[in-house]
Chain A
Amino acid sequence: RVGHDLAPEQQATNRNSVLKIINCEIRFLTGYICRSFTRSSALLTRTHINYGVRGDVAVIRINSPNSKVNTLSQELHSEFMEVMNEVWSSSQIRSAVLISTKPGCFIAGADLNMLNSCTTSQEVTQISQEAQKMFEKLEKSTKPVVAAINGSCLGGGLELAISCQYRIATKDKKTVLGSPEVLLGILPGAGATQRLPKMVGIPAAFDMMLTGRGIRADRAKKMGLVDQLVEPLGPGVKPPEERTIEYLEEVAITFAKGLADKKITPKRDKGLVEKLTSYALSIPFVRQQIYKKVEEKVRKQTKGLYPAPLKIIDVSLYPILQHLSCFFPLSRTFGELAMTKESKALMGLYRGQTQCKKNKFGAPQKEVKQLAVLGAGLMGAGIAQVSVDKGLQTILKDTTLPALGRGQQQVFKGLNDKVKKKTLTSFERDAMFSNLIGQLDYRGFEKADMVIEAVFEDLNLKHRVLKEAEAVIPDHCVFASNTSALPIGEIATVSKRPEKVIGMHYFSPVDKMQLLEIITTEKTSKDTTASAVDVGLRQGKVIIVVKDGPGFYTTRCLTPMMSEVIRILQEGVGPKKLDSLTTSFGFPVGAATLVDEVGVDVAKHVAENLGKEFGERFAGGSLEMLQQMISKGFLGRKSGKGFYIYQEGVKNKNLNSDMDSILASLKMPSQPDVSSDEDIQYRLVTRFVNEAILCLQEGVLATPTEGDIGAVFGLGFPPCLGGPFHFVDLYGAQKIVDRLRKYEAAYGKQFTPCQLLVDHANNPNKKFYQ
């Protein structure tokens, strides 16, 4: 630490020429002290980096203690600088290898806690500048540095790697290179905006930085992002992971030597197309046009709700970092972005997602090895697909051969699409598909550890399959029900063992949607919950666990908003206009389109059921509209017609003109003081948010985090707002209560803010996230 504190002081002394002579002695003294301290700290307190010399190659091994990943923390930063200074000053060393000894992780990015603990943009700017200086020094190193990458190399980790002279990566599935900063609402603050375009070309660099997409090693090699690949090794005389890292180090050392001896040049031969593109892009006019095009596209996609992507384009236009004066504008933008609400919201989501990827109920007593899915429909087959591709033995049961065949085909197609995208080999697909057994009877259910039923949403049917299954399954077997609205407690009434009954609410399409909502009744045992969460995590899901009740959490939040959607339509706002209002607020799918996607009949069924339960609070639009749509066969996408007309292969959907008469017949007068565009948006969102907070108040939700994750990952709540709870925290509970009160005056009880929200409004110090 002391060494680190002294370093800036020393620099200040250097710069100050007037004091140079006077300080001569002191400088010598501090330099001396400084050095002796670094030495001792290297021996005693260097915790993140271990450093040794092989011949004339310095091998710098990173392994942060007590953590699954390495992150660029301030400590790691200063230790790294310390070591590099030793490398540069040693006459024995001619080159260096930078490697992580942590399995599956090179450097996963900047330390988010470090960024979060900053309270001002200046602090963040400072961090970014420090990193830039370090990487700049690294880039200009006359002694070649080889980054040996095994595992995730993200954000700051990638920026570090591309500042090195050479990169070697293992061709492991875990090796991913990327700039995911944009997903956290910030930008690559340590040089990727400048170095990536130079290295992989402007289009690929923008693709990486604007989507946050992770690049796998083999693709990275093709792009020129890494120079060499190393194949992961199998078992030898030590564990494969350990030996692979050792081998990577050995290979990296030979390349480091080769670079130092000038036997290898880090330059890569570019193909003709690449040469032409880079030539075209060197023309300022072409460059400007491309930047403009990219910016237009980004603006269109983000609807101006996310500042980070536009800033990334902005700062990429800065000249390559050459002297200190260039650091500042980039770092300042970085600092400013880190302080935006959007960034706070996105970072909150990231933390929430991490939390919801853990099983807080502990390991189940018996791991589920044999799964059975009842019903081979869209949901059942989807559940089977995400299970078999993780190696879970799965029985898929339906009642008729055509229905079963359709489900099996869905699973096969899902896997085969991955083969087409080259993320799976056809052999892996076959091996996965062999985990699936399709059948029409209950054979083999006596060995099942968990049954997930995904039959049609009908209580009697659910009761029947539960009884049928319980007649054959063993005592320990969990029975899970996939339903979006039927209370699990009611399904469990016919069960002989209600402690083994649980709800697992998947979202469609199952293989794409990350969320799984697990519903526990009062009788559900803790081990049953642990088992369901365990299976969900193995299926790759982000999981929220909520208490049973009508609509659980997700469906319950969505329903009042849907009710408002119908009212707004009745008030004369067209579906297209409504869609554009909701998407411009940040919802990924417009509200009218959402009804079509969910299915008009499903929406009506849910609205009716929950309407009965919750009464006036869920009122608003007239269900008559849905009824009339159903009677005309406008069930949404699945029937080809809803608010829009859906045709195979037609991308731009047209309005269903037959809806005009329905809309006209149910038309209500609008209230002008609550019908501005903004008011319409807030009428929808505040009903959603109010219901979410009520769920927390009533204990349906255990934590605000789960509420946010459920809303964003299951229902498409605008990620830039971070979920309903983040939204209240960041925008102020008082403002939201004010809005609600205004709409309450116009429409009544549906907008009455719940007590918890009012509490938060009354006490500005009260936050859902501290």
Chain B
Amino acid sequence: MISLLTYTLKNLPNTSKWALRFCMRPLSSSSQLQAAAASQTKSKKTLAKPNIRNIVVVDGVRTPFLLSGTSYKDLMPHDLARAALSGLLHRTSVPKDVVDYIIFGTVIQEVKTSNVAREAALGAGFSDKTPAHTVTMACISSNQAMTTAVGLIASGQCDVVVAGGVELMSDIPIRHSRKMRKMMLDLNKAKTLAQRLSIISKFRLNFLSPELPAVSEFSTSETMGHSADRLAAAFAISREEQDEYALRSHSLAKKAQDEGLLSDVVPFKVPGRDTVTQDNGIRPSSLDQMAKLKPAFIKPYGTVTAANSSFLTDGASAVLIMAEEKALAMGYKPKAYLRDFMYVSQDPKDQLLLGPTYATPKVLEKAGLTMNDIDVFEFHEAFSGQILANLKAMDSDWFAQNYMGRKAKVGLPPLEKFNNWGGSLSLGHPFGATGCRLVMAAANRLRKEGGQYGLVAACAAGGQGHAMIVEAYPK
């Protein structure tokens, strides 16, 4: 009935949009009041802001996340992205021509499809009149895709945007060396045989040595795993603690998978292979087994191992983001509001992975919330050591005072609300696609567990970080 009401309102001339918002808020807040009464008292009833459109996630999906080199290994990135887009179309039944814009995040770009968003959208049958662009911000690329969508809707440029992300680590662009490339380009320009021969005569065997995409930070030449190991050491986090946390992640993911809670996963019929229906990286092991592994980065005494790090993953995700009034007008029952968000950045050498620590208090303050108001935490797990370091940093007055310019510590998220359905360590981490998974996990958990506010946070290469508040849409 509500949707019917708003639908009619929506169709009124522009002047009534105001009235619409006016009447929307009491509607949503009344139900929230009930929710609040049910759980604990919230410091804020809702995060709706005057004069700013409410933005909702209608729904979101992802392909199963697979270990690189498994069933997706012969695909191209846009194939995976297309699968996510098709899955989203199927799940939401959104008419293709309603979509105003499409944004995808990706990290390691396939050079043939550098605007992978456009190639995937065309392939997935979206209207060729729907523009699409690709963003990159390391592991928070799809977070950037979503917040770009939020910006487009909030500013009134669009009403319906699809945001997503994709990563295919089974195949990466390996280039010819610079010398070889230069020779090939020169050869292209050469006009006479003599010129060509003279260029070819300069060829040396070492021209053939290939160039790989950078695995290390450009600014510091340090790989992320190495930095994570140092970070864990800086916060005095033991190997045992890290293994225990990784085991927790795998166990919770397994439980969530078995109980069918990972409802954002859509099956994907891989051409020439069987239909993939679930993530294949969830492997709860034993602490004894994990203790046998050798350190992967700082050898021979480091603490970060293959078992307590996220693994190379192939996968794609997509969410349908709309202005609330549009969603309601179209008869949707949205899953969540996307509220305040925050990007931060800090020293890429010694604080590469501390983004969540910096972003969390800022986004909470911006939203006028406290740590106690958050019912669901969804933090990106790049490494066990990284998560535990962030937790320790948030729990340290010394760190807050000396590095964050705060009087007191941020505070510790309660572990019982933290990544309860597994995380990147167990579910996998396709760089460009993880952000949407985090938001959907938060939204789905809020619905399932009955909370109101979720906090999504992630770190990214370059010493950057992101946090966003997800508010449950009233049932």
A-to-B contact residues, CB < 8 Å: 228, 231, 233-240, 243, 246-247, 251, 254-255, 425, 427
**Chain A residues positioned under 8 Å from B347 (CB to CB):** 234
* B219, CB-defined interface residue at 8 Å: yes
B37 to chain A, nearest CB (A): 39
State how many residues of chain B have any CB contact under 8 Å with chain A. Answer: 25
Question: A251–B301 contact, CB under 8 A?
Answer: yes
* B307, CB-defined interface residue at 8 Å: no
CB-contacts of B99-156 with A (<8 A): none
Q: Most A CB atoms within 10 A — which of B218, B233, B402?
A: B233
Question: A231–B403 contact, CB under 8 A?
Answer: no
In the docked arrangement, what's the CA distance between A699 and B230, Å? 55
Question: A427–B218 contact, CB under 8 A?
Answer: yes
Question: A233–B233 contact, CB under 8 A?
Answer: yes
CB-contact partner of A231 in B226, B235, B392, B393, under 8 A: B226
**Chain B residues positioned under 8 Å from A238 (CB to CB):** 398
Known: A240-B350, A425-B221. A234 touches B301 (CB 8 A): no
Ranked nearest first, the 7 interchain pairs of A and B with the lowest CB-CB distance are A234-B350, A236-B234, A233-B234, A236-B235, A237-B396, A427-B219, A247-B233
* B19, CB-defined interface residue at 8 Å: no
Question: A235–B301 contact, CB under 8 A?
Answer: no
CB-contact partner of A236 in B220, B226, B236, B349, under 8 A: B236
**Chain B residues positioned under 8 Å from A254 (CB to CB):** 301
Question: A235–B236 contact, CB under 8 A?
Answer: no
Known: A231-B226, A427-B219, A427-B220. A237 touches B235 (CB 8 A): yes
* B298, CB-defined interface residue at 8 Å: yes
* B410, CB-defined interface residue at 8 Å: no
In the docked arrangement, what's the CA distance between A243 and B403, Å? 15
Q: List 6 A-B contacts (CB under 8 A).
A: A233-B350, A234-B231, A234-B350, A236-B234, A236-B392, A425-B220
Question: B301–A243 contact, CB under 8 A?
Answer: no
CB-contact partner of B234 in A243, A251, A425, A427, under 8 A: A243
Question: A235–B402 contact, CB under 8 A?
Answer: yes
Question: B234–A234 contact, CB under 8 A?
Answer: yes
Residue of B nearest to A233 (CB): B234
B210 to chain A, nearest CB (A): 21
B9 to chain A, nearest CB (A): 53
* B351, CB-defined interface residue at 8 Å: yes
Residue of A nearest to B395 (CB): A237
CB 8 Å contact bits of B385-418 with A (1 = contact, 0 = none): 0000100110010110011000000000000000
Question: B301–A228 contact, CB under 8 A?
Answer: yes
A-B contact count (CB 8 A): 58
Question: A235–B351 contact, CB under 8 A?
Answer: yes
A679 to chain B, nearest CB (A): 59
Question: B349–A234 contact, CB under 8 A?
Answer: yes
CB-contact partner of A235 in B219, B221, B403, under 8 A: B403
In the docked arrangement, what's the CA distance between A246 and B349, Å? 20
**Chain A residues positioned under 8 Å from B221 (CB to CB):** 425, 427
Question: A234–B351 contact, CB under 8 A?
Answer: yes
Q: 11 extra interchain contacts, Cβ-Cβ under 8 A, other than A236-B392, A236-B393?
A: A228-B301, A231-B298, A233-B233, A234-B230, A236-B235, A236-B399, A237-B392, A238-B398, A240-B234, A240-B350, A243-B233
Known: A427-B219, A427-B220. A237 touches B301 (CB 8 A): no
Question: B399–A237 contact, CB under 8 A?
Answer: yes
**Chain A residues positioned under 8 Å from B234 (CB to CB):** 233-236, 240, 243, 247
CB-contacts of B200-218 with A (<8 A): 218
In the docked arrangement, what's the CA distance between A228 and B295, Å? 15
**Chain A residues positioned under 8 Å from B402 (CB to CB):** 235, 239
B409 to chain A, nearest CB (A): 10
Q: Most A CB atoms within 10 A — which of B298, B301, B403?
A: B301
Known: A228-B301, A427-B219. A235 touches B233 (CB 8 A): no
In the docked arrangement, what's the CA distance between A246 and B235, Å? 11
In the docked arrangement, what's the CA distance between A255 and B300, Å? 10
In the docked arrangement, what's the CA distance between A239 and B219, Å? 23
**Chain B residues positioned under 8 Å from A231 (CB to CB):** 226, 230, 233, 298
In the docked arrangement, what's the CA distance between A425 and B226, Å? 18
B203 to chain A, nearest CB (A): 25
Known: A255-B301, A427-B220. A237 touches B398 (CB 8 A): yes
**Chain A residues positioned under 8 Å from B392 (CB to CB):** 236-237
**Chain B residues positioned under 8 Å from A233 (CB to CB):** 230, 233-234, 350
B189 to chain A, nearest CB (A): 28
In the docked arrangement, what's the CA distance between A237 and B397, Å? 8
In the docked arrangement, what's the CA distance between A239 and B396, Å? 13
**Chain A residues positioned under 8 Å from B298 (CB to CB):** 231
In the docked arrangement, what's the CA distance between A314 and B218, Å? 49
In the docked arrangement, what's the CA distance between A236 and B354, Å? 10
**Chain A residues positioned under 8 Å from B218 (CB to CB):** 427
**Chain A residues positioned under 8 Å from B226 (CB to CB):** 231
In the docked arrangement, what's the CA distance between A755 and B199, Å? 75
Q: Most B CB atoms within 10 A — which of A228, A231, A254, A425?
A: A231
CB-contacts of B43-89 with A (<8 A): none
Question: A235–B230 contact, CB under 8 A?
Answer: no
A460 to chain B, nearest CB (A): 47
B350 to chain A, nearest CB (A): 2
Residue of B nearest to A236 (CB): B234
In the docked arrangement, what's the CA distance between A341 and B351, Å? 52
**Chain B residues positioned under 8 Å from A237 (CB to CB):** 235-236, 392-393, 396, 398-399
Residue of B nearest to A244 (CB): B234
A250 to chain B, nearest CB (A): 8
In the docked arrangement, what's the CA distance between A585 and B74, Å? 75
Residue of A nearest to B217 (CB): A427
B421 to chain A, nearest CB (A): 29
In the docked arrangement, what's the CA distance between A132 and B218, Å? 47
**Chain A residues positioned under 8 Å from B349 (CB to CB):** 234
B188 to chain A, nearest CB (A): 28
**Chain B residues positioned under 8 Å from A255 (CB to CB):** 301
